[in-house]
Structure 1
Amino acid sequence: MDNHVCDALGRPDLIDLGEGLVCLRFESMKVVSALAAVRHLLDTGAVRPGDTLMDSSSGIYAYGLALACHRYGLRCHIIGSTTIDHVTRVQLDVLGATLEQMPPSDDLRLDQSRRVARVREVLREHPDYHWMRQYHDSIHYLGYREVADRVAAETGTGPLTVVGGVGSGASTGALATYLRERDPGTRLVGVQPFGSVTFGSDEVEDRGMIIAGIGSSIPFGNVDHTLYDTVHWTGFEPALAGSVDLLRRHAVFAGLSTGAAYLIARWERLRDPGRRVVFVAADTGHRYVEPVFARHAEAEPVEDLAPTAVHDLADLAPPWSRMEWGRAKPPAQGVYADDHSAAHG
């Protein structure tokens, strides 16, 4: 029996979709990384019950950190994206977390830079706050070891490919790191939106949207580019098609980044049918009902979609591009330079 709801929420489901395709479905994925990170900080004495933990978030990590703080008797302060929805705001409020949400913006890059600036301001005002640095502190890898162990145990001994959003780098990077301890041949396929600096698509405009949570307008310290074998960039329309098909075909109701990962996992599996492909479903589809699922009639058949193969970042273009990254080093704009004091996390 679990002692707190975050234990249950952090335990993902492994769903065999058939034909070598497996969905690693989380109710809310960042609960895993936040819970393990907070437990580590308490165990090492870096924080104590009653302290305030703070971070920036587009939604999922905010919820995970609030739950971890609730469990361990800590205070939680979130600098939130404009994309955080009403349901999440209400839950954060009831859980006792304080939320500073950025004003509405059509540019998620501006939203992210505003959040970073506000984090610095709050740290100057409250030097006793502990900045969790989910984008830069490798303690956020810790929670995925148990998940990787389960994936390895339940997917068999054949060659494996992991597909998922890059985001802060902790989820897919950690899964690949731990899985490769058993099988160095485990392949990692990262999913990016156009407009993200992480893998060099920041100059590519996508009039649809930047898919919140899997891309970034600033470099992240937790992204280890040398872990990724392949990178796909998808726009809104292919991701929508993937989300709708996943629900229609397999009854899995998940978010927009999951739709992109599913679409890409299908394509990678067809390209190399000898491998089992596990794709990460980071959260449920509830906050995407109106912008995605209500538009299901617009979804193209996934069988009609395919990426454009590119060999140079200058050739990236919507709606869907694919590049063999080959575990290479990051592009210049994706390099993180830590110019902040380590005293805050």
Structure 2
Amino acid sequence: MFDHIADAVKLPDLVRIGDNLVVARFETMKVYSALAAVEHLLNTGAVQPGDTLMDSSSGTYAYSLALACHKYGMKCHIVCSTKADPSVVTQLELLGATVEQVPIPPGPMVDKMDLEVRLQRINEILAARRDVYWMQQYHNGFHYHGYREVAALIDREMPGAPLTVVGGVGSGASTGGLATYLRELRPDVELVGIQPYESVTFGSEPVEDPVASISGIGSPVYFANVTYELYDRIHWIAHDQAVAATLALYRDHGIFGGMSSGCCYLAAEWEARQNPDRQFLFIGADTGHRYMSSVYTKHDQAVSLTGLEPRGIRELTELELPWAVMDWNRRPYEVAPKVLPC
């Protein structure tokens, strides 16, 4: 019996879809992160019950933070894009959050401008109010804490052969937290990160995806929560191939996931074939409801995945569409300082 719906929503379903391939399918994975973050802030006295917690998000973190605030009796303020799904905005408001949608200036680099105008609005709010705490999901390391519980669950459910975790990099907290805590339990764990093209996080920003960059797994701005030294390999996947893989995951296995789930499935299925002596677990971070109009209803337009293989590269200068893979070997990396933090 759960005391709050957030504790039930966060739990993943572990589903075996291949001999050495398992998906951790979440309704909303970031609930783990948000719950642990709010609990940490209350326990350390950084915030008091009834304070307002604020962040910039147009998707799963906004929902997760609103749920966490609902559980712990905190106020919640979300600064988001005008592109945010109206159904998500409605959910946030019904949970008691206030939602502020910031218009995006016209012009190129829309995703980067979206982040920058939201950052500007957050700074204005912080300057005017003293009762607001900025969560900074991209930079505050306490967002790692919630994934200790997930790591213990995975370790318990997947004993035996060495384990590789495949997940979208995004803010760095989910895959970084999982790898950190899993390696405390079993040092043999490998971590494979998934990136879109046009992301500064692992250096793909010079390669333009002609359709669209995939939100949620990469970014045009710097994220401090990405610990590069945790990653063994990186896959870069283009938008069209991500759409096709998302549909394939649903058709082949009935897993209704978002585009990051599709990317992880494409990479993990390939990885599992290359390494039959290892176990592979990939992250299905959320459901596919937000992607009905952009992915699922356009299934008849999807490209074919038949014969598709990643191009192995040794240097970032070799990056090409539609799919590349590189041994990262847990090395450090620095994002160009001209890229503004968010």
TM-score normalised by L of structure 2: 0.95
* Match status 1:2 vs 2:5: no
Query: Which position in structure 2 is the counterpart of 1:32?
Result: 32
| Structure 2 letter corresponding to 1:44 | T
Three-state SS of the structure 1 residue aligned to 2:200 is: coil
Q: CA RMSD in A?
A: 1.8
Q: Aligned-pair distance for 1:72?
A: 1.0
* SS of corresponding position for 2:16: strand
Q: What does the per-residue CA deviation read over 1:38-76, in whole Å, with 9 as the maximum and x for residues that have no partner? A: 011111211111100001113100000001111111110
| Structure-1 separation of matches of 2:5 and 2:254 | 24
Task: State whether residues 82 and 111 of structure 1, in contact with CA within 8 Å, keep that contact through their aligned partners in structure 2.
Answer: no
AA at the equivalent of 1:308: R
Is 1:118 matched with 2:111?
no
Q: Distance in 2 between matches of 1:335 and 1:179?
A: 34
Matches within 5 A, 1:252-267: 252-267=255-270
Instruction: Output the CA distance in 2 between the equivalents of 1:156 and 1:302.
Output: 32
With 98-107 and 276-285 compared, the bigger mean Cα shift is at: 98-107
Unpaired segments ≥5 residues, structure 2:
none
Alpha-carbon offset, residue 25 of structure 1: 0.8
Give me the whole-angstrom Cα distance separating, in 2, the residues matched to 1:147 and 1:285.
21
Measured after TM superposition, the shift of residue 228 of structure 1 is 0.4
Q: Tell me which residue corresponds to 1:76.
A: 76
**3-state SS, counterpart of residue 336 of structure 2:** helix
CA gap of 1:316–1:252, structure 2 versus 1, over 3 A, is same
In the alignment, residue 54 of structure 1 is paired with which amino acid?
M
Distance in 1, matches of 2:114 and 2:326, equals 28
Greater Cα offset, 139-148 or 73-82 = 73-82
1:333 counterpart SS class:
coil
Q: Structure 1 residue 81: deviation in Å?
A: 3.0
SS at match of 2:267: helix
Counterpart amino acid of residue 237 in structure 2: T
DSSP-derived class of the 2:325 partner:
strand
User: Cα distance, 1:333 vs. partner?
Assistant: 2.3
* Distance in 2, Cα, partners of 1:285 & 1:3: 27
Partner residue of 2:54?
54
Instruction: Tell me if structure 1 keeps the 8 A contact 2:221–2:340.
Output: no
Q: Is 1:18 the equivalent of 2:13?
A: no
Partners of 2:241 and 2:323 lie apart in 1 by 7
The structural deviation recorded for 1:204 is 1.4
- Which region of structure 1 is more displaced relative to structure 2, 80-89 or 184-193? 80-89
Q: What is the aligned residue count?
A: 339
Moved more, 287-296 or 162-171: 287-296
Q: Please report how far the alpha carbon of residue 179 of structure 1 lies from its aligned counterpart in structure 2 after TM superposition.
A: 0.8
Is the CA contact 1:195–1:210 (under 8 Å) kept in the aligned structure 2?
A: yes
Long gaps (5+) in structure 1: 341-345
Q: What is the deviation of 1:157?
A: 2.0
Q: Which amino acid aligns with 1:192?
A: Q
Q: 2:107 matched to 1:137?
A: no
